[in-house]
Amino acid sequence: MHTLHHRSCILVCRVWREARDRIVGFPGRYHAWDIPHQSWLYNSNYSCELSMVLTGAAFFHKYYAYLYSYVMPQAIRDMVDEYINCEDIAMNFLVSHITRKPPIK
């Protein structure tokens, strides 16, 4: 489990103020298509490669929460409810789809 420190929260907030259209947070995660195995690879190692950040320690504009709740297809929200812990994947994809930008760790 990642320990959340006050100074880390302050830093994330300051970074987010400079990039309010992005999700800014930690820890980061990386996903990619694994060609040899023909499946998705999901890496939670602490590295510089990332394609999403976990939403438990992330800053994002409240507009994205609105889009997530009222615009994102119901089928995606139903899947999040079924699997319980995939909201970070859905939120990262939503924001990246709209902005065409990756999150910031």
- Return the active site residues: 88
Cβ atoms 93, 80 nearer than 8 A: no
How far is 40 from 49, CA to CA, in rounded Å?
15
Pairing, β 28-34 against β 24-25: unpaired
